[in-house]
Chains A and B, each alone.
Chain A
Amino acid sequence: MAQPIKIIQKKELTAEELQQQKLEELKSLLTDNKEALDKMMGIAGELNDLGVLEAASAMLQAKDKIAKIALGQVTREPVTNLVNVLMGATGAMMSADPKATETVVKSSIAGLHEANEHLKSNKKTGVRDFMKAMNDPDINRAVGFGIHFLRGMGKALKHEDNH
């Protein structure tokens, strides 16, 4: 009569047998991946010579502390503001027409150059000179640019207000 039984005798491996089993597994892993392991050892050796491994090891051990410090820093208001400003500015720049921007930037540089020359001359500018200058087509173009720039900016500001 086979009586029902619930006892299971597990084959318990001795510490030596377990160690041997793991060594066998490791051995086949090593032989299967020899080429990759050679390369890895080479890289690891060079990193060690440079002291990188030691630093990396220390950082890994302190990973939680470091991550908290880093997060604490980047979530401070000045930093988030900076990120927002950078992202906003980048976004705005990205939406501008690159050709037009190039023209404006080149023109500004030329203007700066001319203005610098004027500063060097130490000449005084009177009201008459100003009125006369408006007839100069180059100056007129620049003033017109400024007026239309201000108009466009004003419109955009109004639009933002409505939001």
Chain B
Amino acid sequence: MAIDTISLIGKDGSLNILARDTISVMINNEKYTADKGKTILQIINENNIEHPQICYVPEVDPIQTCDTCIVEVDGKLVRSCSTVAEDGMYIDLSSSPAQAAQTEAMDRILENHLLYCTVCDNNNGNCKLHNTAEMMGIAHQKYPYRPKVTTDQVDMSHPFYRYDPNQCIGCGQCVEVCQSLQVNETISIDWEAEIPRVIWDDGVAINDSSCVGCGQCVTICPCNALMEKSMLGEAGYMTGLDEEMLNPMIDLVKEVEPDYTTIFAVSEVEAAMRDTRTVKTKTVCTFCGVGCSFEVWTKDRKILKVQPSHDAPVNAISTCVKGKFGWDFVNSEERITTPLIRKDGAFVEASWDEALDLVASKLGGIKEQYGKGSVGFISSSKITNEENYVIQKMARQIFETNNVDNCSRYCQSPATDGLFRTVGMGGDAGTIKDIAKAGLVIIVGANPAEGHPVLATRVKRAHKYHGQKLIVADLRKNEMAERSDIFISPKQGTDQVWLMAVTKYMIDQGWHDQKFIEENVHFFDDFNTVLEKYTLDYAEKHTGIKRDTLVEIAEMIRDADGTCVLWGMGVTQNTGGSDTSAAISNLLLATGNYRREGAGAYPLRGHNNVQGACDQGTLPGWLPGYQHVTDDVARAKYEKAYGVTIDSTPGLDNIQMLHSIDEGKMRAMYLVGEDMALVDSNANHVHDILSKLDFFVVQDIFLSRTAQYADVILPGVPSLEKNGTFTNTERRVQRLYQALPELGNAKQDWWITQEIANRLGANWSYSHPSEIMAEMASLSPLFAGATYDNLEGWNSFLWGSHSGESTPLLYVDGFNFPDKKARFALSDWSKPVEFPEEYDLHINNGRMLEHFHEGNMTNKSKGIQSKVPEIFVEVSPQLAEERGIQDGSLVRLVSPYGAVKLNALVTDRVKANELFLPMNSVDKDSAINFLTGPAMDARTHTPAYKQTMVRMEVIRVDGERPLPSINHRNKKRNPQNGVEVERKWNRPGYVHLTTH
């Protein structure tokens, strides 16, 4: 064994020089060096040595069901996937006993599977079973194929995928990823059955199970047992034949019993043909801030499937139901595909020239007539970085205003503010890997299992298998709360109190990190003064959390090897959202949980590019790359590049722009990809404001509620029709490639902005988003390394260094202040908004797993709609009993600002007088923001959506339960320790292939 150093250049371009323990092994008489602790199979794969491994999944622990990876080590047969290599080991991959064992293992597998590859939809060159059998030179099978069930038992019940037990080889990869990676704990193998097969929950139909439809099982299936329904009959040239034709063809293949090499040769020809027709394009998901990347397979405009890859830096093979299956909106007939101009009470189709000329002349004219601040710009967290950049550039260069903002104002601005004040950068401290690595994860006011599903899987896995502890603070008992070690429900708007009390208690006990504070943080004494009143008793009084529980939380932080705090809208959408975010950062600073792996602050960005929209300067106070407009040097740089004088005063944010419109100062607005009329608080008020605009331009893919107020609607395109980059919650910039042509006459969003700007004399000449990124990077040191070359394919870049290097972990060289020291934020808790007594119920709101945001993309998916067809309000069993209501009762909820009417769902996810209204509604009768009011976070003006009280009127008692019985929330999971291969080995008559 030796110790040397290695230089690792990560996918993200980061350079790490590490000391490592290495070993040497002999494989097939050749010497290989590897890191200590690696399994034999890992070494084989690292060195690109061809070797069978049907059930190997790098993201999970060895599954050990297939036995095809058996090797001979010093005379013994062992599974290479589960045997850790030792120094000096002699490994033979192809000795006679090893080969015999591998072949026998494959024979046992093929007993369960019919190789009719040419007429199989999985014959796309990446079928693991096909490729392995071919690699092993398998010509015939020793054991004849035997079906497990009759053909009518193929499970087609789920809207998105099917399971064919008769093609299932029982390798258990689907089980392992469901139990141990997604940790939804639905799938298992009934090892005790006469012929083992995969089952859902206790053996129910898939659609009646606790399956959340994440699709990881389908992605990982090495054959065609689990298939996306969108592939069936579509992927192959002959797979679309009707059963009358297809079945005789499969029978023919069976009857003639050809040598498999013949089948493989023919099927490979057909797979090569498919390759010319099926286009596989890497993209980045549009449904949340996690930043999953995957290939999307298309045939003309049809989306055949989404295929994740082990190479994807964030998610690897993981997806959620939306990312895997929720793309119907792209081809929806409701897409706007031609520019529309308001004329006489209707939108009339227009040519691009007509629409753009009108937009330019009107916006330009209003600026001329009313001055620089008379036009406002609202950019989008769904469009690309490049598109955000040109929007802020148009605002600042052409309209000479800083009145530009994006929808982070509605969600994440307080988190960014809290981080800027304390540690100096508005981004997650590390990556999703740090979250998985932490000893303790604390989730405050967020529901990542539904809002950030793939990120949540990493916490669930670490918690289930790797001893990670989990604390959840939320009003509602969501899935993460169910899984937590401690679940607290502080009174609404009091998170800052318990966070400060825990911090004070830890300092009082001497459990803080004095050395870290002395070396890294200012204002500790002042901070202690602020903390004085936040005793455990004070916290118990205001939050309702028992002091013993708070002590327990403090002890868990003390004992953890790294604490990560994850938070979301439950924190930020409060009057004290910024201060609570700062309190989180304070707690982490006090306990030394920054500047190290597996620790830090992680605000969970909600939209796919909410981080990027802010990074690109669609903010009233920030130029791209977080250079403040008050910074003379930075401003001068942009002034030189843009050839104009940039105002040194921050512009108006979303909320202020609405006030300005109300006051008659702002006369026109250009809004891209946001449904402000639904997502801003107090929607009735927004209606009045938008109606007052002299001229309103909306760029969107649908006729959103906001677009209905527009004078001109310009049809942009969704992510699958774009080239560009998104930046996820980790600060990771990733490229997306255009998978589909623009639908109809819709255009690239950056092109539209450029056309408007050029009509106003800009003279821009971007021909590709890469040119926009290059310009932005040249002006923003943080992004200097974010070139399209560096971002090619699966590569990515994490901003965080002023020298422009990729920076997975922030603050390694100190905090982002001139003296490299962080600052404790010195803010007191302020009480939440009070409502008149008649409004006796608190209404919370948030996302559902199946839907994205207000739902105007995901509601185009028939499959998703079948699982969540309508909106409802969650009511606790106690309240239901008290008010005499039940599932399906129709209730009216009335706040001081409006009313909604919808059906009740009685559930213990909420308690007492808490209500929960999912936010995926585009209907005035059920959208949450017809209830929310004008209160806002004092520092950032983010609406305090979460501080809303209502009264409830029962309109009708009887009604149908609004959540269908097939929804996973109605089911019970079936947790297991992965695939539990020991049960296979314990089957009577099982003959081991390894040496015992």
Contact = CB atoms under 8 A, between A and B. Distances in A.
B346 A80 contact: no
Contacts of A4: 677, 687, 691, 705, 708-709
Given A8-B347, A8-B349, A9-B347, A2 B259 contact: no
Contacts of A83: 256
Interface residues of A, number: 24
A5 interface: yes
B248 to A, nearest CB: 4
A6 interface: yes
A83 B251 CA distance: 14
B266 to A, nearest CB: 13
A112 interface: no
A2 B690 contact: yes
Contacts of B345: 3, 5, 7
Interface in B343-397: 343, 345-349
A55 to B, nearest CB: 22
B248 A75 contact: yes
A153 B892 CA distance: 89
B349 A75 contact: no
B346 A71 contact: no
A75 B246 CA distance: 12
A64 B245 CA distance: 8
A163 B592 CA distance: 69
B693 interface: yes
Interface residues of B, number: 34
Contacts of B259: 87, 91
A10 B346 CA distance: 10
Given A2-B342, A2-B709, A4-B687, A75 B255 contact: yes
B270 interface: no
A2 B691 contact: yes
B244 A5 contact: no
Contacts of B696: 2
A7 B346 contact: yes
B158 to A, nearest CB: 31
A8 B342 CA distance: 9
B542 interface: no
B463 to A, nearest CB: 47
B84 interface: no
B346 A9 contact: yes
A72 interface: yes
A142 to B, nearest CB: 34
Interface in A57-111: 64, 67-68, 71-72, 74-75, 77, 80, 83-84, 87, 91
A119 interface: no
Contacts of A67: 245
B687 to A, nearest CB: 7
A104 B710 CA distance: 91
Contacts of A87: 256, 258-259, 262
B801 to A, nearest CB: 46
B428 interface: no
B347 A5 contact: yes
A71 B349 contact: no
A74 B248 CA distance: 9
A3 B708 CA distance: 8
A85 to B, nearest CB: 10
Interface in B195-222: none
Contacts of B692: 1
A70 to B, nearest CB: 10
B256 A6 contact: no
Contact of A71 (B252, B340, B691): B252
Given A4-B687, A4-B705, 5 more contacts: A2-B709, A5-B345, A6-B703, A67-B245, A80-B255
Rank and list the top 4 A-B pairs by shortest CB-CB distance, nearest first. A4-B708, A80-B255, A7-B346, A71-B248
